[in-house]
Amino acid sequence: MTTFVTGGTGKTGGELVQLLHKNNHSVLVASRSSIAPSPLRSVVFDWFDPSTFENPFKAAQDIDKIYLVAPPVFDSLPIVMPFIDYAISKGVKRFIHGSSSAMDKGDITDGKIHEYLVDSGVDYAIIRPTWFIDNFGTFYLSSIRDNNEIPSVAEDGRVAFVSVKDISQAACDAIVSPESWNSEVFVVGPKLYSYDEVANLLTNVLGKKITHRRLMHEESRAFWEKFGLAPNYAAMLTEMEAKIADGYEENIIRSSNVLTGKCTLED
């Protein structure tokens, strides 16, 4: 049987397809350009072009599981829902959804997808990672390099930053498990950090002073919009990050349904 991986050339998806391949698991990669690392199979798939939704099932008639990563839009359920319904009609039995620690079931965006999958009656696993370690080399890279700072609204809140590798391993485990998890699982790193502590670590590594610049909400929204995100999506990310200041992320590590990864920022 085959697993179809949406976002298969992205951060978690790219790691996931390699893990599945190494485990001799049949995998089909979604790509808007139909390009995937050799020897993996790929197929043209675009969330904003429903005519591509049938492509994976033409390429592989035995798809029974899907790793689902929604497009970065504020209300993604209307975009994703038709594909979920179509996939179920084609015999897909299990969905593994890459969500977020800050999005509870029913919340706009990934929380709505979480809710829809549960209500659909299919087997599912909701992977809810906390904030990515890897963001310091992507979203925050230019701020660190050019301005010697990490901007955030997190204040003194702490986060168990998690690696893409650990997130992908959790998704792989949910896919290959003989029994469906049928639950949400938080994926966290093994150590809590404040943004001030992250700045100190980077100072030691880079040999120059890095600070944590504490943003107002409007500044944070502008920061996220610089990456081409719509204003409502940027506002949502700001509110998600603001939960850190209220202790939301730190409380997650005390939950019963937590998987703790191995990678830390020191790595």
Q: For the domain that residue 52 is a member of, what is the CATH number?
A: 3.40.50.720
In a domain, 14, yes or no: yes
Q: Domain residues for 172?
A: 2-130+162-187
Residue type, 129: P
pLDDT digits (tens, 9 = 90+) for 45-86: 999 999 999 999 999 999 999 999 999 999 999 999 999 999
- How many CB atoms are located within 10 Å of the residue 91 CB? 12
* Residue 34 pLDDT greater than 80, yes or no: no
Please give the pLDDT value at position 35. Answer: 73
- 74 contacts 109 by C-beta, under 8 angstroms: yes
Please give the pLDDT value at position 113. Answer: 98
Of the pLDDT bands very low, low, confident and very high (cuts 50, 70, 90), residue 8 is confident
In a domain, 240, yes or no: no
Q: In the chain, what is the straight-line distance between the N-terminal and C-terminal CA atoms, in Å?
A: 36
In a domain, 267, yes or no: no
Q: How many angstroms separate the Cα of 180 from the Cα of each of 96, 259, 261?
A: 9, 16, 21
Question: Mean of the pLDDT values across residues 77-97?
Answer: 98
In a domain, 225, yes or no: no
- 79 contacts 17 by C-beta, under 8 angstroms: no
Q: What is the DSSP secondary-structure string of 48-63?
A: T-GGGTTHHHHH-TTE
pLDDT digits (tens, 9 = 90+) for 224-237: 999 999 999 999 99
In a domain, 152, yes or no: no
Q: Is the dihedral of CA 214, 216, 222, 225 positive or negative?
A: positive
Q: Angle between the 231-245 and 217-225 helix axes, to the nearest 10 degrees?
A: 130
Please give the pLDDT value at position 199. Answer: 97
Query: pTM for the full model?
Result: 0.94
Exposure b/e, 106-130, CB count within 10 A at least 16 = b = ebebbbbbbbbbbeeebbbbbbbbb
Of the pLDDT bands very low, low, confident and very high (cuts 50, 70, 90), residue 9 is confident
- Residues forming a β-bridge with 34: none
pLDDT digits (tens, 9 = 90+) for 210-227: 999 999 999 999 999 999
In a domain, 39, yes or no: yes
Question: Mean of the pLDDT values across residues 138-158?
Answer: 96
In a domain, 154, yes or no: no
Q: Angle between the 110-120 and 77-89 helix axes, to the nearest 10 degrees?
A: 30
In a domain, 21, yes or no: yes
Question: Mean of the pLDDT values across residues 142-161?
Answer: 97
Domain count, the chain: 1
